[in-house]
Structure 1
Amino acid sequence: MAGRLTDEIVLITGAARGIGRAIAAKAVEEGAAVGLLDVLADELAATTENLRKTGARVFSAVGDITDETSVRRVVDQVVAELGPVTILVNNAGKNSYADATTMTVEEWDSVFDVDLKGAWLMARAVLPGMIESRQGSIVNIASIHSHLTTAGMFPYAAAKSGLVGMTRSLALDVAPHNIRVNAVSPGFIATEGLEQFFETMPGAREAALQVHPLGRIGTPEEVAEVVCFLASQAATFVTAANWSIDGGLTARYA
């Protein structure tokens, strides 16, 4: 399996920890040079240092994907340091636990800015280079909430549904340029965010384990495997797809 991303330049948002960090590590293992973007400066620095110990070409920048000036700056820096981006992974995201009747417009915008607008701004920044070279792959990290959800997570499902819709629409628009766009929809994955959720919701961990057909929670590394496959030349006939990574959870009737 090693080497399927050799000579690729992979830019990953939300790369400091969790799924983003695992994707970066897997991309390096597969031979890619990686650009890392996050707002968490200290954790980003630690992740960058660890990846550089492998001897890989790694560049990182603190930046805000919701701000087009910041996006343009970071993409320009990655291109200057590593070369034109050939793979974009839109991993940065924001959970939401809001009440539709009391949520403010500012709170609504903050969710959609990260979960949807940021992915578009990143894609807009890298696509001209991909179009010019007639190659490229974008993988958007959506969620199983894009096609089912639970009470108390408004409006996260709406934002992630929008991301999957954007994936399909963009895939059709850029297909003539030999660029592929796909999404993955993780379920319960062992990240810092999930652990915080379990800690605040008594019994949630046990309930989750009971309903998972595979009987366990997934790992960031398992998501990274699928993302790197979809991004690679091993998946050249896959585009506009949304792959669930959920241990069979969404196959259940109840």
Structure 2
Amino acid sequence: MTKKVAFITGAGRGIGREIAQKLAHKGFAIVVTDVHLENANETVSRIAEIGGEAVSVLCDVTKLESVENAVQNAVEKFGKIDVLINNAGWDKIEPFLKSDPSTWELILNINLMGQIHTCKTILPLMIENGYGKVVNIASDSGRVGSSGEAVYSAAKGGVIAFTKTLAREMARHKININSIAPGPADTPLFKEIGEYNEGIATALVKAIPFRRLAQPSDIANAVAFLASDEAEYITGQTLSVNGGLAMV
């Protein structure tokens, strides 16, 4: 297998699908993982249309056993994993005092524990292979907070801290670990959680200096850079992709 292999979580739609297509265009073989296999299959079909190589794998990042099975399937198919993109995420926008403990648990399990599970499983393979890059999708809410997203912000803040610590531990193995912190993006998830306030998108567009929401391609372009050998000397960093909404 001469191509580099990218294992992408939550790649069945939205930002994850765009990342998968972008990396396939760059010559990566793609492991498209998602908790909804039909969505993952659709991403694989789109990659095939552009002449790329991809396989769909069922993966529930909240369950370590599911992650382990997905990684095993990926290695059986491609023999290795060179790049891990921790993209899977979910949120429910609501005031914290009106939120439910079951929602807290789901948000933390998907957004934080999911990334812990994949790193625990895949990093030893990267160490053995002598190469690896990890890009964790965080959020600017994890850096500056976001009303209606208290637990999500806490989870994404955890991702940023987790990224920095792993970057320190993995540097001796020459494995680069960074995170992308998107601002509000025009995705299916944003449309779903936007029901909390129908005017939220309009208000955000007015607040963003570039006067638009991020497109999935904006995030994918940044991920592709950090996943490339051009970012060989970059590790432990958090890159905001937010149109200037927050400058930190």
TM-score by length of 2: 0.94
Cα contact 2:91–2:193 (8 A) shared by 1 = no
Please, which of 21, 36, 59 is the counterpart of residue 32 of structure 2?
36
Partner in structure 1 of residue 190 of structure 2 = 194
- Separation in 2, partners of 1:91, 1:197: 17
Partner in structure 1 of residue 113 of structure 2 = 117
Matched residue SS, 2:246: helix
Partner in structure 2 of residue 185 of structure 1 = 181
For residue 108 of structure 1, report the CA deviation from its aligned partner: 1.9
- Separation in 1, partners of 2:244, 2:94: 27
For residue 42 of structure 1, report the CA deviation from its aligned partner: 2.0
Identity, in percent, stands at 32
Please, which of 204, 216, 237 is the counterpart of residue 200 of structure 2?
204
For residue 85 of structure 1, report the CA deviation from its aligned partner: 0.3
- Separation in 1, partners of 2:102, 2:204: 32
Q: Residues 13-24 of structure 1: matches in 2 within 5 Å?
A: 13-24=9-20
- Separation in 2, partners of 1:199, 1:66: 25
Partner in structure 1 of residue 41 of structure 2 = 45
For residue 206 of structure 1, report the CA deviation from its aligned partner: 2.0
For residue 160 of structure 1, report the CA deviation from its aligned partner: 0.3
Please identify, of 150-159 and 122-131, the stretch whose mean Cα deviation from structure 2 is larger.
150-159
- Separation in 1, partners of 2:159, 2:92: 15
Structure 2: runs of 5+ lacking an equivalent: none
Partner in structure 2 of residue 221 of structure 1 = 217
- Separation in 2, partners of 1:85, 1:249: 34
Partner in structure 2 of residue 81 of structure 1 = 77
- Deviations 1:163-197, CA, capped at 9 Å, x for gaps: 00000000000110000100000001110122234
Cα contact 1:59–1:82 (8 A) shared by 2 = no
The change in CA–CA distance for 1:251 and 1:110 in structure 2 (over 3 A counts) is same
- Deviations 1:128-178, CA, capped at 9 Å, x for gaps: 111012210000000010111232222111000000000000000011000
- Separation in 2, partners of 1:28, 1:132: 24
For residue 102 of structure 1, report the CA deviation from its aligned partner: 5.3
- Separation in 2, partners of 1:70, 1:218: 31
For residue 239 of structure 1, report the CA deviation from its aligned partner: 0.3
- Separation in 2, partners of 1:32, 1:153: 34
Amino acid at match of 1:173: E
> What RMSD, in angstroms, separates the aligned Cα atoms of the two structures?
1.6
- Separation in 2, partners of 1:139, 1:192: 21
TM-score by length of 1: 0.92
Please, which of 231, 238, 241 is the counterpart of residue 237 of structure 2?
241
Please, which of 137, 140, 147 is the counterpart of residue 144 of structure 1?
140
Cα contact 2:48–2:54 (8 A) shared by 1 = yes
For residue 92 of structure 1, report the CA deviation from its aligned partner: 0.2
For residue 98 of structure 1, report the CA deviation from its aligned partner: 4.6
Please, which of 61, 66, 69 is the counterpart of residue 65 of structure 1?
61
- Deviations 1:204-232, CA, capped at 9 Å, x for gaps: 22211111111111110111011010011
Matched residue SS, 2:154: helix
Cα contact 1:98–1:155 (8 A) shared by 2 = no
Aligned length: 247
Amino acid at match of 1:78: A
For residue 66 of structure 1, report the CA deviation from its aligned partner: 1.1
